[in-house]
Amino acid sequence: MKRLLVFIIFLLFFLTPAVVHGYELLPAGQVINSDYFQSGQAVQIDGDINGDVFLTGGIIVVNGKINGDLFALGGKININGAVENNVRVAGGDVTLNSPVGRNVLLVCGSCNVTGQATVAGSLLVTAGNAQISAGKIGRGFRFFGQRLFLNSAINNEAFVVADREFLLGPQASISSVLKYTGNAAAVLEPGATIAGNIVFQKTNPKENFPRFFGARTILESYQKIKPLTEFLGFAVSALIGFIFLGLFPKGFEKVANAIENKPVASLGWGVIIALMLPVVTVLFALTIVGIPVSLVLILLGYLAWIASQYLTAFFLGRKIMLQRFGERRGWALFLGLFLIYLLGLIPVLGNLIKLLLVLLSLGALVLAYKQPVIIESNLISGRRKSFARGRG
């Protein structure tokens, strides 16, 4: 647990974009007798590691043996070396080609678990497309995604949600029940066996409302009073924003100046945090004992997201008002909130602009408190320029 917490700090606060680093190699024959952290545009592990491994990069290749857990986050990930404990991986294109001593979690666009792989514990996959041909899956299988080709022996039940296609190959065998949700029934090739029952539930994409507890009536009634609820929501939001601004005026100014002076870095940090936090939260939740920590991370992420919206509003309003009317924080916040409200009325483009602005503020929040001296100096410089204009 402590090591996973170290990894979170590594990801959220000290990880620089992968393009900063080049090719990182742990050569064959080298042995690391501790936990191992590495990030880069390309990371290759040919040596052996007697500890937990934490990797991030555009391309990640693991050929050496890992006598601990493997955590990896990247674009293309190939795992060819044996992993003694757990594997938890998130990437665009992931291939598992080796034995794993415990459980495996794969979150990917395209996943391939080859016939060379075995999983002693359970296998959980979330993917757009997945091909699972592991020689053995010891403690059950879970899949959530679009398309699945399953051709493995599973020593427990299997639970599958495949929205588009589910195919069981000739080597597929399930020793217990298969529970499947999708648009059409699963296709079993000759040779596929299921010891238990097949419980199939067909999805209905045309169902706009849930069927329980009169949800249709409640949602239709809400549509009628939606304008009033949105206005009340805006009023309450403005009141909360004024309270925050009164409590943390310097914080609002620091973040606004961070966006002004370092917009690209702010957006980059915002995207990193928005992508990393859900992954880290899921990793904690899967450890069971880390569920309380995952709940705290969810709460902190929600509060940071809400705070970023107020910081965005303050930046927009201040940007418009500062040159003409000077430093009027309350009016700047109100104007910014109103502009964000108007953006929300634009169907797609407005919400996209809002998202980019909030990511800017989220990243600027990190920059402002990672480099308080620099941001503070820029703040003082900006005040001097504003004062000079006022005197002129």
Q: What is the pLDDT along the chain (392 residues), one digit of tens a residue?
A: 445 444 444 444 444 443 345 788 999 999 999 999 888 878 999 999 999 999 888 889 999 999 999 998 888 999 999 999 999 998 889 999 999 999 999 998 899 999 999 999 999 999 999 999 999 999 899 999 999 999 999 998 999 988 889 999 999 999 999 999 888 888 899 999 999 888 888 876 555 444 434 445 665 665 666 666 767 777 777 788 888 788 888 888 888 888 888 888 888 888 888 888 888 777 766 655 556 677 777 888 888 888 888 888 888 888 887 777 766 777 888 888 888 777 777 777 877 887 888 888 888 887 776 654 444 444 444 444 443 444 44
Cα dihedral value 128, 351, 247, 296, nearest 10: -10
pLDDT at 123: 95
What's the confidence (pLDDT) of residue 296? 76
Q: Which whole-number Å values give the CA distances from 39 to 49, 86, 172, 338, in the listed order?
A: 16, 20, 37, 41
Q: How much is the pLDDT for 148?
A: 95
State residue 370's pLDDT score. Answer: 60
* Per-residue pLDDT at 359: 85
pLDDT given at position 309: 81
Evaluate whether 378 touches 256 at the Cβ level (below 8 Å): no
- 191 Rama class: left (phi>0) / alpha (psi -120 to 50) / beta: left
pTM of the full structure: 0.54
- Strand residue runs (E) in the chain: 23-26, 31-32, 36-45, 48-49, 53-62, 70-79, 87-96, 99-100, 104-113, 118-119, 123-132, 136-137, 141-150, 153-154, 158-168, 173-174, 178-182, 187-188, 193-194, 198-202
Identity of residue 219: L
Instruction: Give the pLDDT confidence score for residue 347 in this predicted structure.
Output: 74
pLDDT at site 129: 93
Q: What Cα–Cα distance (Å) separates residue 38 from each residue in 43, 49, 127, 202?
A: 7, 12, 25, 44
Q: How many other C-beta atoms lie within 10 A of the C-beta of residue 78?
A: 20
Are 281 and 301 spatial neighbours (Cβ–Cβ below 8 Å)? yes
Of 265, 263, 262, residue with least CA distance to 20: 265
C-beta atoms surrounding 111 within 10 Å: 25
Query: Which of 145, 107, 151, 155 lies closest to 132 in space, CA to CA?
Result: 151
